[in-house]
Structure 1
Amino acid sequence: METKPEANGKMDTKENMEAKKEEEKVEEVDKMVQAIGTFERWQIMLCVMVAFPSRISAAWQQLGIVFVAPATSFQCTETNLTDSIQPATCYRDCAKYEYFTEFENTIISEWDLVCERAWMANLTQTLCMAGVLIGSIFFGFVADRFGRRIALLIACILQLVTSLIEPFSISYWMFTIVRFFIGTSIAGTMLCSYILMMEITGPKRRELMSVLCALPFPIGQMLMPLFSYYLRSWNRFCLGVGIPNLIYLIYIFLLPESPKWLISQGRLEDASKVMASAARWNNRPSDNMLDVAKAIAYENANSKDGQQGKATYMDLLRTKVLRVNIIGSCSLWFMLGISFYGSNQYIGQTSSNAFVSVALAGVFQLPGIMLSGILSKKVGRRITLICFFCVCAVSNALLAVPEDLFIVRLVAGAVGVGCASGAFATVYMYTTELFPTVTRNMAMGASSTISRVGSMLAPYVAGLTTVALWLPPAAFAIVPVLGALTLLILPETKGKILRDHVA
């Protein structure tokens, strides 16, 4: 009886040693890692230059509607009625409204988005999210067909131009259309920058790179209230968060192409130049990089398949493995879109101060993101996601407690936001590893698109409170459980080389 635990301990130790050896073996045969390094000065420089600005800006642009169209009280000041005029009451013949808010000017007061025009404020954010959805599909295709660099440059320049036009909008419809294209650019900057970072990082450091790429978004969310607090006007706020996008101009001169993508397209000389530059940055030998690129291409069993360089979304359904992976990935992203909203909506109710609420939502995401890197490294992607989904399910279920138990709801919401953020950080990395180079961005784009659909459906789930107060928390709890079950059909990808072709 006493020998079993000891035997199991030995078995576990043996399995861990074998897993470690397998991971080291993968690293050894990854010629790209041997040539340019796993995670050194070049990778760190690109992460700081590309991932940080693009993700911080994405947070400002995507979430800025909270301060551009905040909750606003109003009262009619010009009407033919002689009776006393009630605040927050709509009158058919009202010619002018007075607005009461913490801000000097909002899009609500600028274009009278109250009463019969109140729906227009929500439409602005809906079209912005629709832009993110369209951008996920468009930039996913462009990045896989024409390269990570060109797709990221288009997205960055589009965001720069539209974010500087936005504060000078002369009408509601001009503002809303610009917001749509800003949403489109957000999808491109977030997806393409992440894929580029993961493709230049070795298997042993992907967890660290994933965390570093995820952290800027909540940091941007925490910084955003400072802009709003000091600028206090929708156009000054939009200009304030738009000017930093000028950093994108240096990408035209400094942004490299992914050497993995170049090799997958047969552009070995171009790949060797990028690899040589990376090697010099990392104080490694930069000679014979063309031979290394040729060796990597030769090792790929499908490198002679001419169709691989022109992959389409249909290639995601081409083999049984990819069909299972894309269905599973889209399901995970859809469920995360709903779960993340389920936790965040309650965090927004923890304070009547919008500045504090937005900052809190950013703070609560940090622990989950950092924990995702640790767990992904120790136990793998699948187990990490299953743990996050299960804890998120319990947290969302606890949101059904009465409002009197404020502390329970606050803690549950905070844990739920942290777990959902950690799951998002992990699923970004997991999706990257599930698909080959020629379809990686398209797979990420398709999954992200489905996630947006989940986020857009989530408010309707939250609206089930009109039927029963316990229904929304129950729904938000069941969805993560389904996500955990979905992971059972997907493979583990920890420590694996990023493959280049479909077959």
Structure 2
Amino acid sequence: MESNGGPNDNTVSKDTNTDIKKDDDKMVNAIGALGRWQIILCVTIAVPTKISAAWQQLGIVFVAPATSFQCTETNLTDSIQPATCYRDCAKYEYFTEFENTIISEWDLVCERAWMANFTQMLCMAGVLIGSVVFGFIADRYGRRPALLISCLLQLVTTFIEPFSTSYWMFAITRFFIGTTVAGVLLCTYSLMMEITGPRKRELMGWLCTVPYPLGQVLMPLFAYYLRSWNKFCLGIAIPNLFYLVYYFALPESPKWLIAQGRLEDAGKVMTQAAQWNNRPTENMVDVAKSIASENVDTKESQQDKANYMDLFGTRRLAINTVCSCTIWFILGISFFGSNQYIGQTSSNPFVTVALAGVLQISGITLTAFLCKVIGRKATMISAFVVCAVSNACLAVPPEWYYVRLVMGIIGVGCAAGAFASMYMYTSELFPTVTRNMAMGASSTISRVGSMLAPYVAGLTTVALWLPPAAFAVVPVLGALTCLFLPETKGKKLADHVA
């Protein structure tokens, strides 16, 4: 019987049967590899959370933009120079295309200039902490509670931010916003990967990753029409009210429920999924029991207290953990290195931010296609090699403007594509009971890399060629690290450490 609306059920069934023949994934056989249920969840959960995450994490560009200043009240009788600090200055005048920024709001210039960048550092520190905390919560207590907590916290903190009455209130709020960004990014991705069949994960990975750069493309529209920092923050906070719907609509991952032995609950979620995908709904609890019995022995199936030490539970997992963290660290440095040049190609922040988002969408789309065709491992190695060559070309003389522009564009696309591919690769390298902890640990190491990257970029004080050389060598190390990882293309997701 054909379905009225939604994805083509015959196609889903055909793909699913191929999956089962190859991987014996009974859950995919029961609910469908990628049907109307998965698409609706992706559109209502992955897309809004990823777009909002981009706004919250990157919005500092428009909250604290480059701002010129000049002292207007001083005891000096000589002419006052612009962008010059005077010890007895009582008042500054600011020149920017925005009505008001946090720089002009709290006089973040001269001896207080460091405080503008410190807010973004706190946000990244929040992402680092949130990756660990929400990764643990998601694996210990479930994807649904972890995602609900992070979404609710983001809703509250983003509405507090525009009404901050002091700099430190704003800065501390940015820290908590950073923790929520980590939670929604990690938990959403794991949930969507766990309800998608092996042969459809590349497409789902693309659907889950593209909304982030799409949010980066849309963000300048808010900034263009809301040119005050508090109006802008309020504007990008209002869409988060949609998160309230998740309390009623967000399901738990059936794979996580089965891994925890909650077979009745898993059967209910699988029944709902089968109904939406127009598949048979009978005996879903029996299917869950069958999956649980085939995963591991009875003792292992009771493992519901997984912790970060389980990431080293076997030799294979230990290798995967070390390599994954290393690659994410390298991506943190490489992504910043590629963006270093693109961020300097235009003095117009609206155009620059939107352009960077478009370039990332292109890179993510290309690597998603390559993951489907040649596999995760070869795609990661290829992206790293091209990124290395592109970054090395940035060492050419400044007069070769177009060469540097093209190489910078290619570097940004490859770095973004490699990041997107590694999200999917990492989710496939680890079992259900430790998947979010693995992604959280890897993401944490990535933030350390991104924090170190500015110091690498600062090597221009030693020699102009040093930063491009460093940003070229680092991706090569990433490509070599990939050689130690197994290929996961088309493989069923493991549930337990064993």
- Whether the TM-score (by the shorter chain) exceeds 0.5 is yes
Q: For 1:356 and 1:200, how far apart are their aligned partners in 2?
A: 37
Q: For 1:214 and 1:401, how far apart are their aligned partners in 2?
A: 33
The letter for the 2-side match of 1:102 is: E
Q: Which of 433, 450, 475 pairs up with 1:455?
A: 450
1:132 aligns with 2:127: yes
Q: For 2:49 and 2:438, how far apart are their aligned partners in 1?
A: 20
Q: For 2:108 and 2:298, how far apart are their aligned partners in 1?
A: 57
Q: CA deviation at 1:476?
A: 0.3
1:373 aligns with 2:368: yes
Aligned to 1:78: 73
Deviations 1:118-137 (A, max 9, x none): 00001100000000000000
Q: For 1:306 and 1:214, how far apart are their aligned partners in 2?
A: 32
How many residue pairs match? The answer is: 484
Aligned to 1:256: 251
Q: For 1:198 and 1:290, how far apart are their aligned partners in 2?
A: 21
Q: Which of 289, 296, 311 pairs up with 1:294?
A: 289
Q: Which of 380, 391, 396 pairs up with 2:386?
A: 391
Q: Aligned runs of 1:430-441 on 2, under 5 Å?
A: 430-441=425-436
Q: Which of 408, 413, 418 pairs up with 1:423?
A: 418
Q: Which of 256, 264, 271 pairs up with 1:269?
A: 264
Q: CA deviation at 1:218?
A: 0.7
Q: For 2:161 and 2:149, how far apart are their aligned partners in 1?
A: 18
Q: Aligned runs of 1:188-203 on 2, under 5 Å?
A: 188-203=183-198
Residues 27 and 204, structure 1, Cα contact 8 Å, conserved in 2:
no
Q: For 1:85 and 1:489, how far apart are their aligned partners in 2?
A: 61
The letter for the 2-side match of 1:315 is: D
Q: For 2:297 and 2:99, how far apart are their aligned partners in 1?
A: 61
Aligned to 2:149: 154
Q: For 1:289 and 1:182, how far apart are their aligned partners in 2?
A: 39
1:22–1:294 Cα change, 3 Å: closer
Q: CA deviation at 1:302?
A: 3.7
Secondary structure at the residue paired with 1:495? coil
Q: CA deviation at 1:114?
A: 0.1
Secondary structure at the residue paired with 2:65? coil
Q: Which of 334, 337, 344 pairs up with 1:339?
A: 334
Deviations 1:265-300 (A, max 9, x none): 000000000000000000111110000000000101
Q: Aligned runs of 1:397-416 on 2, under 5 Å?
A: 397-416=392-411
Q: For 1:318 and 1:41, how far apart are their aligned partners in 2?
A: 37
Aligned to 1:15: none
Q: Aligned runs of 1:458-469 on 2, under 5 Å?
A: 458-469=453-464
Q: How high is the TM-score relative to the length of structure 2?
A: 0.96
1:499 aligns with 2:497: no
Secondary structure at the residue paired with 2:303? helix
Secondary structure at the residue paired with 1:349? coil
Aligned to 2:31: 36
Q: CA deviation at 1:305?
A: 2.1
Unaligned residue ranges in structure 1 (runs of 5+): 1-19
Deviations 1:463-496 (A, max 9, x none): 0000000000000000000000001111000111
Cα root mean square deviation, aligned: 1.3
1:196–1:155 Cα change, 3 Å: same
Deviations 1:190-245 (A, max 9, x none): 00000000000000100000011110011100000010000100000000000000
Unaligned residue ranges in structure 2 (runs of 5+): 1-14
1:171–1:50 Cα change, 3 Å: same
Deviations 1:35-78 (A, max 9, x none): 10000000000000111000000100000000000000000001
1:69–1:150 Cα change, 3 Å: same
Residues 264 and 303, structure 1, Cα contact 8 Å, conserved in 2:
no
Q: How high is the TM-score relative to the length of structure 1?
A: 0.95
Deviates more, 1:401-410 or 1:435-444: 401-410
Deviations 1:372-409 (A, max 9, x none): 11111111100000000000000000111111111111
The letter for the 1-side match of 2:245 is: I
Secondary structure at the residue paired with 1:225? helix
Residues 400 and 469, structure 1, Cα contact 8 Å, conserved in 2:
yes
The letter for the 1-side match of 2:143 is: R
Residues 27 and 33, structure 1, Cα contact 8 Å, conserved in 2:
no
Secondary structure at the residue paired with 2:299? coil
Q: CA deviation at 1:422?
A: 0.8
Q: CA deviation at 1:306?
A: 6.0
Aligned to 1:179: 174
Identical counterparts, % of pairs: 75
The letter for the 1-side match of 2:358 is: V
Residues 43 and 201, structure 1, Cα contact 8 Å, conserved in 2:
yes
Q: CA deviation at 1:309?
A: 1.1
The letter for the 1-side match of 2:50 is: R
1:283 aligns with 2:278: yes
1:26–1:466 Cα change, 3 Å: farther
